[in-house]
Amino acid sequence: QVQLVQSGAEVKKPGASVKVSCKASGYTFTNYGITWVRQAPGQGLEWMGWISAKNGNTNYAQRLQDRVTMTTDTSTSTAYMELRSLRSDDTAVYYCARAPTFAVAAVYWGQGTLVTVSS
């Protein structure tokens, strides 16, 4: 069965960076991409971007593209999302989801990773 298991909660100071991992299993990793979505406490969902696990092509949300980097490691079937220059409004639950292209409604989601940015 398809599973996406994310890394644990993080607490970071403003200006720091965070790297969240998403380990995939139950399917051929390179046949799909990974979408990243975040959700601030009590708020709605925000699409952050997508990466192809086949060739590393990315499509980032413009408002984040200066601070976000998405990568994959095909040897471990793991996707990563790094967010730099963290601010308090980056406090959110970060989700990964499987998507063959960015223009797909994702079915399989990770459990979410809470990132708290606080001084």
Partner 1 sequence: EIVLTQSPGTLSLSPGERATLSCRASQSVSSSYLAWYQQKPGQAPRLLIYGASSRATGIPDRFSGSGSGTDFTLTISRLEPEDFAVYYCHQYGSSPLTFGGGTKVEIK
Query: Residues interacting with partner 1, by CB under 8 A?
Result: 35, 37, 44-47, 59, 61-63, 95, 97, 102-107, 109-112
- Give whichever of 8 and 75 is closer to partner 1, judged by the CB atom: 8
- Give whichever of 13 and 46 is closer to partner 1, judged by the CB atom: 46
Q: How far is the CB of 14 from partner 1 (least distance, A)?
A: 25
Q: How far is the CB of 52 from partner 1 (least distance, A)?
A: 14
| Residues present in the chain in total | 119
With beta carbons less than 8 A apart as the criterion, state whether 61 and 109 touch: no
Strand ranges of the sheet holding 113-117, from the earlier edge strand across to the other edge: 10-12, 113-117, 92-99, 33-39, 45-52, 58-60
Q: Exposed (0-12), middle (13-18) or buried (19+): which is 118, by Cβ within 10 Å?
A: exposed
Q: How far is the CB of 7 from partner 1 (least distance, A)?
A: 15
- Give whichever of 3 and 74 is closer to partner 1, judged by the CB atom: 3
